[in-house]
Amino acid sequence: MIDPAPLLALALDAAFGWPEFLYRHIGHPVGLFAQFLNRAARRGNIASHSFARRRGAGIIAMLILLLLVISTATALEHGAQIWLGAYAPFAIALLAWPGLAQRSLYTHVRDVAQALEQGGLAAARAAVGKICGRDTQALDRHGVARAAIESLAESLSDAVVAPLFWFLIGGLPGLWAYKAINTADSMIGHKDAEWRAFGWAAARADDIANLLPARLSGLLICLAGMSGWRIMWGHASRHASPNSGWPEAAMAGALKLRLAGPATYDGILHHKRWIGQGRSDATPAQLRLALRLYIRSLILLWLLVGAYLWAQ
Amino acid sequence: MTRHTEWSWHGGALELAQRRFPDAPQPWIDLSAGINPHGWPVPHDLAIDWQRLPEAHQLMALEAQAAQYFGVDPCYVCAVPGTEMAMRLIGAMIGPAGQYGLPAYRTHSEIFAQATAAASLDEADAGQPLIFANPANPDGRLLKRSALLALLDQRAMGWTMIDEAYADTDPKQSVADQIDERRRIILLRSFGKFFGLAGVRLGFVLAPTALLQKLRHAMGAWPISSAAIAIGRAAYSDHRWIADARTQMHAAAMQLDALLAAQGLITTGACPLYRLIISDKAAPLFDQLAQQAILTRPFDDHPNWLRIGLPADRLAFDRLAEALAGD
């Protein structure tokens, strides 16, 4: 019989996201990871320590975090299988549900599109600020649309495809170990002097964990748009990250847009190569098109998951 | 051998040539400039208001008309009193360090305070500004659009300024459609060469609006005369003349090639407005033609080069053929 847990978790997330009332009452597991990492950083990321020592502390912090997460998730999974029997997949799906972000990603990006369509640049900047790291105050409407499209492509990979991939490979422990790594990467996996040593382990772990999911996401986007192959293949390596370039180049190719490129952060011009050809002035209509590609990619993903489970 | 320095600066040193070769049979034929010999016929009744300063909306209308002709959004187009001045102003904005492609139009080597020659465009520093002409002047070498797009893609950081002064004859080769607010691409388009009205002093800069804003500020108010505005608007909307001129120029260029080939002179270049002869005979050929009152364009640093513009008509072709044959 097919294990229904992955499809159930996908359906729960697609239908409800992670509802506000649940967030208020029980928070989100990612919040626990953040607490742990904050404490670990206070203890291990000390400026006066050598690079090697701080990197060692970062490795130990990641190992402890993964040990805690994997043991807890394994216990829950086994507990469910022992106590609930045939109903275990439902409990496992419930526990996997907050690890997926199909709906919240869609909602966030749709908010940006709506704000742009209604002409509210300030609202659009605020909305896109929730999903991307760059300083959004200086962006014009094209810049906002581009930032939203880039975030959508990257997040399809690291907030949907990757957690699902690790769920299929390693069950609940796989999924939550991935979420812990990904959270750690976004919190401490920075390249600046303060974090480079301590965040090294988190950044490398995230690179490895996303290796296959990122390429799979690019493939899904190209399939969904029936285009973009050439750009994905040729331009993926132009991204500074070994993974993000795949979904981003696929999106650039499918939308015939020019993403990335030279950018100014804090008044300093940063050298980034262009990803994609065509124009760089993304429009709200192209953002809507990107959302449709996203939905189609998800449909393909569900079918793929179904086929994978059926084949097992 | 005659020293050519005086007229190897730019084309158009006809008066000088007339003094240097007083015995040459009149009238002179000037083939030194690479300009359409059949200028757009300016209507005698073209309304030009000489009394008042040109209005802002008239200049905008000219830019909109030109933008349509270039195939680009009007917000990326700025009219300038000739691209010569514009490239020097822009050179100061994006310099001081910069590179120019070879062979270079002389001004290209002067616009950056710290200029270096780039022997090959692909090997130019991608982080530093680069200016080159396409088609190139004087050899007429045309970088295919696909190669140009690949080059622009490599040069995301450094400004790339392409002088498309001679691009009007083959509009498909232009990369005007690549002009984009975030890309560091600047195009220079000339009015006088294709329309054969160099004296109007009109050109256009196609660039991101942020750069155009600085350029407009540097030029100040009323950069373009009323006459240039009126002539430019009318000429760019004369689609029929434009189409005929293209056909005519390509045909005349083929005729020129045939004429030169008959004298054993092989030409290079894909731009129909001029042909370059690369030959040991180039220097004596300049004198030989000048003695027959035909002015061509020699090059100081390349004594084996001679550029020949398009002869205007049957008579000019015949005189060129005679002058080439007779020795």
Q: Which residue in the set A271, A272, A279 is minimally distant from B180, CB to CB?
A: A279
Check B156 against A142: CB less than 8 A apart.
no
From chain B, the residues in CB contact with A274 under 8 A are: 153, 156
Q: Is A269 on the interface with B (CB under 8 A)?
A: yes
Min distance B119 CA to chain A CA atoms (Å): 24
Instruction: Tell me the pLDDT tens digit for each residue of B194-207.
Output: 999 999 999 999 99
The predicted complex's ipTM stands at 0.72
A-chain residue closest to B156, CA distance: A273
Q: Which residue in the set A142, A271, A280 is minimally distant from B157, CB to CB?
A: A271
At a CB cut-off of 8 Å and minimum separation 6, what does B288 contact? Answer: B323, B324, B327
From chain A, the residues in CB contact with B127 under 8 A are: 271
What does pTM read for this prediction? Answer: 0.83
Q: Which residue in the set B149, B153, B157 is minimally distant from A262, CB to CB?
A: B157
SS3 annotation, chain A: CCCCHHHHHHHHHHHHCCCHHHHHHHCCHHHHHHHHHHHHHHHHCCCCCCHHHHHHHHHHHHHHHHHHHHHHHHHHHHHHHHHHHHHHHHHHHHHHHHHCCHHHHHHHHHHHHHHHHCCCHHHHHHHHHCCCCCCCCCCCHHHHHHHHHHHHHHHHHHHHHHHHHHHHHHHHHHHHHHHHHHHHHHHHCCCCCCCCCCCHHHHHHHHHHCHHHHHHHHHHHHHHHCCCHHHHHHHHHHCCCCCCHHHHHHHHHHHCECEECCEEECCEEECCCEECCCECCCCHHHHHHHHHHHHHHHHHHHHHHHHHHHHC
From chain B, the residues in CB contact with A272 under 8 A are: 156
Which of B149, B153, B182 best tests the A interface by mutation, with the highest count of A CBs <10 A?
Answer: B182
Q: pLDDT tens digits, chain A, 312 residues: what are they?
A: 678 899 999 999 999 988 777 777 777 888 899 999 999 999 999 989 999 999 999 999 999 999 999 999 999 999 999 999 889 999 999 999 999 999 999 999 999 999 999 988 999 999 998 888 777 888 888 989 999 999 999 999 999 999 999 999 999 999 999 999 999 999 999 888 899 999 999 999 999 999 999 999 999 999 999 999 999 999 999 998 899 999 999 999 999 999 988 776 666 777 788 999 988 889 999 999 999 999 999 999 999 999 999 988
Min distance A271 CA to chain B CA atoms (Å): 6
Q: Is B184 on the interface with A (CB under 8 A)?
A: yes
From chain B, the residues in CB contact with A273 under 8 A are: 156
Check B180 against A280: CB less than 8 A apart.
yes
A–B CB contacts, 8 A cutoff, strictly below: 29
Q: Is A142 on the interface with B (CB under 8 A)?
A: yes
Q: pLDDT tens digits, chain B, 327 residues: what are they?
A: 444 555 555 555 788 888 888 888 888 999 988 899 999 999 999 989 899 999 999 999 999 999 999 999 999 999 999 999 999 999 999 989 999 998 877 889 999 999 999 988 988 998 899 999 999 888 888 998 999 999 998 898 899 999 999 999 999 889 999 999 889 999 999 999 999 999 999 999 999 999 999 999 999 999 999 999 999 999 999 999 999 999 999 999 999 999 999 888 888 888 899 999 998 888 899 999 999 999 999 888 888 999 999 999 999 999 999 999 875
Quick one: which H or E segment has residue B117? strand B114-118
Residue B302 burial class via C-beta count within 10 angstroms: exposed 0-12, middle 13-18, buried 19 and up? middle
Check B156 against A274: CB less than 8 A apart.
yes
Check B180 against A258: CB less than 8 A apart.
yes
Chain position carrying tokens 């492509």: A153
Q: Is A54 on the interface with B (CB under 8 A)?
A: no
Min distance B150 CA to chain A CA atoms (Å): 10
First vs last C-alpha separation in chain B: 16
Check B149 against A261: CB less than 8 A apart.
no
A-chain residue closest to B182, CA distance: A280
A-chain residue closest to B154, CA distance: A273
pLDDT at A266: 66
Buried/exposed A11-42: b ≥16 CB within 10 Å, e otherwise: ebbeeebbeeeeeeeeeebbebbeebbeebbe
* Radius of gyration over every alpha carbon of chain B, rounded to an integer in angstroms: 20
Number of H helices, E strands in chain B: 9, 13
Check B149 against A274: CB less than 8 A apart.
no
Q: Is A283 on the interface with B (CB under 8 A)?
A: no
Which of A231, A256, A274 best tests the B interface by mutation, with the highest count of B CBs <10 A?
Answer: A274
Min distance A262 CA to chain B CA atoms (Å): 6
Contact A68, A36 (CB under 8 A): yes
Check A261 against B181: CB less than 8 A apart.
no
DSSP letters of B38-83? S-----TT-----SSPPPHHHHHHHHHHHHHHHTS-GGGEEEES-H
Give the pairing type, strands B130-133 and B160-163: parallel
Taking alpha carbons only, the member of A84, A109, A92, A107 closest to residue A12 is A92
**Is the bond preceding A98 in cis, omega lying within 30 degrees of 0?**
no
Q: Is A190 on the interface with B (CB under 8 A)?
A: no
Min distance B178 CA to chain A CA atoms (Å): 7
